[in-house]
Copies of this chain bind each other. A is one copy, B any other.
């Protein structure tokens, strides 16, 4: 029997699902589920670039993240109403943008901007890793659409990425923490890797006690296993 509240094995992902073409207007639109965490990821491609890239030969990728006020157990304030995005939101959307830029050739994209909008409609832990993993699928769909329209000579997507959280819960390393685990975890780490098993970003935080090198190694091993499964599931969804 598992020590995890969810009953999962230490190295077991939640049920992962990608619902492509979730909304009709965006070039790419995916509803990604990591268990009860559900995020709408849309990729919009526009024929414009930020001011600092005008007259250059490249495009840009950026991301925005939001949470519907009642995505969580108690209602959170609406950032648009408060007139300000919170620090956590800013941190997450910068992370999503950096991660996706790692797999896109900005020159092959041309003078275009891809915006990844990640909107959490239901939260149960791991929203940022779900957002990144789902955004990859939305990005591929959006780029395919442009390629079919003959607007891109070569494929600007030159790699594949996925993200997962790992942590130390009850003294043991676990994969893909849900909210119940995350809120009691001693350490929480988000790992973004590519399909070749190399790291795009690592963010680990000791919530309680500082974590030792051997704990870090165990968590990285779990993350590697999880990312391997997620990239396979992304491929499967894109082939569907």
Contact = CB atoms under 8 A, between A and B. Distances in A.
A29 B201 contact: no
A85 B80 contact: yes
Interface string A72-87: 1111001111011101
Interface SS of chain A: mixed
Q: How many copies does the complex hold?
A: 6
Contact of A202 (B74, B90, B159, B202): B202
Given A64-B81, A91-B94, A121-B40, A201 B193 contact: no
A44 B198 contact: no
B90 A78 contact: no
Interface string A182-225: 00000001000110111111111110011111001000100000
Contact of A206 (B102, B212, B213): B102
A69 B64 CA distance: 9
A124 to B, nearest CB: 8
Contacts of A44: 69-70, 75
Interface stretch (A20-28, A53-61, A125-133): A20-28
Contacts of A121: 23, 40, 119, 121
Given A80-B66, A81-B64, A213-B220, A46 B75 contact: yes
B85 A81 contact: yes
16 contacts: A23-B68, A24-B122, A25-B73, A26-B75, A69-B117, A80-B85, A83-B83, A83-B84, A91-B91, A98-B205, A159-B210, A193-B210, A198-B209, A198-B212, A199-B204, A201-B204
